[in-house]
Amino acid sequence: MSMHTAFPVTSVAPPPRWAVRAAHLTALVVLPSGLLRLVWVLGFPAGYTQAGFVEFETPSAKVWMLTLSVVSELVAVLTIGLVRPWGDVVPHWIPLLGGKRVRPLAAVVPALLGSAALTVLWGTMPLWWTHPHSDMTPTGSILIGIIYQPLVIWGPLTAAVTLSYHHRHRAARRPATAG
C-alpha cells in the first residue's frame, strides 16, 4: 500500500443504501434545532416572550447554546463515518491516529451508548405540547415543538446505522467456510 493511498481496500462489504441514507438523515435531523439555537445566540427571541428570553441573553447561556449546536452537529456527522471509509481507517490528517484502522468496537460501543442516551433524552419530545410553555408565545411553542420533533429519531437512526456497521464488520471477520 502506498503512503499516498487514502484508505486501504478492506474486505468489509459496502454499507446498504438505507444505512447511507439514514446516516445522512441523522446529520439533517439535528440541523433545525441547532440553527434555532444560533438564532437565539444572535439575540432573537424566536418563539420566546421577552421575559422568557432573558435567561438566554447571558454570555454563559450563549456559549452553552453555541457549544451545544456545534457539538450536536459534529456528533451527528460522526454517524456518517459508519458508512464512509473514515469509519474503517482514521483519516491521515488526524494527528497520532491518522492512517490507523478503526477497531469496530471502538466505533460501535460509543455509538450504541450514544444512541441509547439520545433515545431516552429525546423520547418524550412528542409530549411537548402536553405541557404549558408560559415563557413562549403560542406560535413559538408550536414552532419550537415542530423544530425539535426530528430529534426523536436521532437515537434510533444512529442505532440502526451502528448495527449495520457492526454486522458488516462482523461478517468481514468471519472465516470463509468451505462450500
pTM here is 0.86
The string of pLDDT tens digits covering residues 74-112 is 999 999 999 999 999 998 998 998 899 999 999 999 999
Listed in sequence order, the residues at least 6 apart from 62 whose beta carbon sits closer than 8 Å to its beta carbon are 40, 41, 56
Answer for the pair 51, 129: CB distance below 8 angstroms, yes or no. Answer: no
Total residues found in the chain within this entry: 179
| Chain center to CA of 122 | 13
The string of pLDDT tens digits covering residues 127-177 is 998 999 999 999 999 999 999 999 999 999 999 999 999 999 988 776 655
Answer for the pair 75, 107: CB distance below 8 angstroms, yes or no. Answer: no
Q: What angle do CA 57, 153, 53 make, to 5 degrees?
A: 15
The string of pLDDT tens digits covering residues 136-147 is 999 999 999 999
Listed in sequence order, the residues at least 6 apart from 70 whose beta carbon sits closer than 8 Å to its beta carbon are 34
